[in-house]
DNA sequence: TGTATTTTTCTTGTCGACAAATAAAATACA
DNA sequence: TGTATTTTATTTGTCGACAAGAAAAATACA
């Protein structure tokens, strides 16, 4: 965990350091390369990225702002835990944002939005075909983020992106233990959603978005209860 | 603007500097002491707070994370502008969050929440009585934030707080040019909302929250169009 | 006089070092 | 041997300084 990618170019532009550290750390957290509770050591990161502690620190402040890491004053910093006890609040917010963003996309999308959405739709279908669970997680999130962007409400897309990030962590946690997969059904639902958006059928988009979200939540909850049962059985 | 409060104690605890700078700057931005577009100079702030640039910088990174300031790479930093062209997206999100948080409060509140809510309700009524517009803005936001907390969904409360902050800026902008006031009607509506929450009447809470939000949005919009007309007339 | 190029100025981004705060280790004492 | 106290070690928070980038000013040139 100490020396994974030291082969990065020693030539870096001024100001790119923070962004790079932020992006890499963010991905490692969301992909559970850094699992919840992992200690974050500034000095270690400074050595790894060959930077001083200052830009590392700035990246950490940003991550803390998004709730991805927790900082104990004067003491350690660690990757924030997933609050399993309050998962229902996460699902609650997720379902509503699925609904709202799909509805707004039907209302406000422009032609160019649809091609972006269709692109991610195809990526997702390909991931399902090849049974690549991690690709499914990523492309599904990208698909819905694109729909949210087409809805053109930055307040909603902001919250939704955060929820999708957190979902990426939760799903990854699950899929690393069990080789489950999203069913073909989700691909079909995505196609229906696209059709509703294109037809500017606001009510249908709302309904489909809600149903789709509830499907996903239900599946995740099913997987989790099974997961917990197995853990208890050990 | 250079030497407003230099009379702060020279004794500061380690780590309190960032929080202090963050809190003060945040308030100054939301109260329009620092209007949109104001340049933010790190060196100047460092002198003002008698700190080095490092903690100032950390506070600024946080503020940027919340969208309160905009940073041009390698160049200036300034208080973020209010996007008047897309105010409707703001109102859209605000109304939905009013609804959702009020609904959830009716569902999930605990006895101790109600006393907090009632406290802010009385503060608001007092502000209306004394025709103190700025106090109305602040206490109204606090009232609804308390309701959101009672709803116990951190994702919603997070977004809602940001919206209330932005609303504080918008209203302040308005109320500094015209001595308008929130009508007594809002006090009554607040009382109705409290009653619905206490009775755990979820549907009524939802309906009242929505209606209340729309009232506020309508009033603000009315004020703005009048404002704009006057400006055009000049 | 107007435009292109160089120089200067000013602000930011990064660095290495030091001091405070806390935890861990070591010592004293019963 | 077990607890309280001191000492050491480790990590964070802050500092002052320096260099890179970009705008503004100054200069050269037509």
pLDDT in tens, B82-106: 998 999 999 999 999 999 999 999 9
CATH classification of the domain holding B32: 1.10.10.10
Which residues, in sequence order, are CB contacts of A124 under 8 Å at separation 6+? A136, A139, A140, A143, A186, A187, A190
Question: How far from each other are the two terminal CA atoms of chain A, in whole angstroms?
Answer: 29
CB B121 within 8 A of CB B191: yes
Q: What is the average pLDDT across B157-164?
A: 97
Do B144 and B50 sit in the same domain of this protein? no
pLDDT digit string, tens, across residues B9-30: 455 788 888 999 999 999 999 9
Question: Are A93 and B152 within 8 A, CB to CB?
Answer: no
A63 confidence band (pLDDT: 50, 70, 90): very high
| Percent of the residues in chain A that have a pLDDT greater than 70, as a whole number | 89
Residue A135: is its pLDDT beyond 90?
A: no
- For A11-110, where are the alpha helices, taking DSSP H only? 16-30, 42-49, 53-65, 87-108
Q: Rounded to an integer, what is the distance from CA B188 to the centroid of its chain?
A: 21
Do A224 and A127 sit in the same domain of this protein? yes
Cα-only R_g, chain B: 19
Do B221 and B204 sit in the same domain of this protein? yes
Do B228 and B113 sit in the same domain of this protein? yes
ipTM rounded to 2 decimals: 0.88
How many domains is chain B built from? 2
A111 touches strand D (CB under 7 A): no
Structure tokens at B30: 């939301």
B3 within domain boundaries: no
CATH classification of the domain holding A204: 1.20.120.530
B4 within domain boundaries: no
The pLDDT score that the predictor gives to residue A4 is 38
Do B184 and B203 sit in the same domain of this protein? yes
Structure tokens at B123: 């503060």
Do B128 and B184 sit in the same domain of this protein? yes
Residues of A with Cβ-Cβ distance to B96 under 8 angstroms? 100
- Dist CA A58 CA A46 (whole Å): 12
| Percent of the residues in chain B that have a pLDDT greater than 90, as a whole number | 70
Do A92 and A190 sit in the same domain of this protein? yes
Task: Give the pairing type, strands A39-40 and B69-71.
Answer: unpaired
Question: Are A14 and B74 within 8 A, CB to CB?
Answer: yes
Do A141 and A223 sit in the same domain of this protein? yes
Q: Which of A59, A79, A99 is the last residue of a domain?
A: A79
Residue B144: is its pLDDT beyond 80?
A: yes
Taking CA atoms, B82 is separated from A181, B91, B204, in Å, by 44, 13, 33
Closest-CA residue of B relative to A83 is: B154
- One-character DSSP codes across B138-170: HHHHHHHHHHHHHHT-HHHHHHHHHHHHHHHHH
A98 touches chain B (CB under 8 A): no
A112 touches chain B (CB under 8 A): no
Residue ranges of E strands in A88-225: none
Q: What is the average pLDDT across A78-91?
A: 94
Q: Which of A53, A79, A105 is the last residue of a domain?
A: A79
Taking CA atoms, B180 is separated from B139, B171, B173, B220, in Å, by 16, 10, 12, 10
Do B90 and B127 sit in the same domain of this protein? yes
- Dist CA A110 CA A122 (whole Å): 19
A112 within domain boundaries: yes
Residue B49: is its pLDDT beyond 60?
A: yes
The pLDDT score that the predictor gives to residue B138 is 86
Domain holding B131, by residue range, is: 84-233
Neighbours of B184 (CB within 10 A): 11
A81 touches chain B (CB under 8 A): no
- Dist CA A90 CA A82 (whole Å): 10
Sheet holding A77-79, edge to edge: A39-40, A77-79, A69-71
B89 within domain boundaries: yes
- Dist CA A26 CA A8 (whole Å): 18
Q: Which of A15, A61, A96 sits opposite B61 (nearest CB)?
A: A61
B3 backbone dihedrals φ, ψ, rounded to 5°: -125, 70
Question: Are B58 and A54 within 8 A, CB to CB?
Answer: no
B172 within domain boundaries: yes
A36 within domain boundaries: yes
B8 within domain boundaries: no
CB A78 within 8 A of CB A70: yes
**What is the dihedral angle through the alpha carbons of B3, B8, B9, B12, rounded to the nearest 10 degrees?**
-100
SS3 B79: strand
Do A128 and A105 sit in the same domain of this protein? yes
Do A74 and A94 sit in the same domain of this protein? no
| A18-32, A116-130, A178-192, B143-157: segment of lowest average pLDDT | A178-192
A124 within domain boundaries: yes
User: For an interface test with B, which of A62, A67, A155 has the most B Cβ atoms less than 10 Å from its Cβ?
Assistant: A155
Do B177 and B147 sit in the same domain of this protein? yes
Q: Which of B27, B48, B79 is the last residue of a domain?
A: B79
Angle (deg, nearest 10), helices A42-49 and A53-65: 120
- Dist CA A193 CA A199 (whole Å): 10
pLDDT digit string, tens, across residues B177-220: 655 556 788 899 999 999 999 999 999 999 999 999 999 898 88
């Amino acid at each position: 965990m100490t020396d994974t990618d030291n082969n990065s170019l020693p030539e870096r532009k001024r100001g790119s350091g923070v962004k790079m550290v932020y992006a890499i750390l963010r991905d490692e957290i969301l992909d559970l390369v850094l699992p919840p509770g992992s200690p974050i050591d500034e000095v270690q990161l400074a050595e790894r990225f060959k930077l001083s502690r200052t830009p590392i620190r700035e990246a950490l402040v940003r991550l803390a702002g998004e709730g991805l890491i927790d900082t104990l004053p004067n003491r350690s910093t660690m990757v924030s835990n997933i609050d399993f006890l309050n998962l229902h609040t996460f699902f609650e917010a997720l379902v509503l944002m699925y609904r709202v963003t799909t509805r707004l996309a039907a209302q406000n999308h422009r032609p160019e939005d649809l091609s972006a959405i269709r692109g991610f739709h195809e990526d997702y279908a390909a991931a399902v075909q090849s049974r690549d669970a991690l690709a499914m997680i990523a492309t599904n999130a990208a698909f819905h983020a694109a729909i949210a962007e087409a809805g053109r409400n930055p307040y909603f897309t902001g919250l939704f992106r955060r929820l999708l990030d957190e979902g990426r962590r939760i799903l990854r946690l699950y899929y690393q233990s069990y080789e489950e997969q999203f069913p073909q059904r989700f691909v079909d639902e995505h196609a229906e959603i696209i059709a509703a958006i294109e037809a500017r059928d606001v009510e249908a988009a709302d309904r489909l978005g809600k149903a789709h979200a509830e499907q996903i939540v239900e599946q995740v909850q099913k997987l989790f209860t099974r997961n917990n049962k197995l853990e208890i059985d050990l």
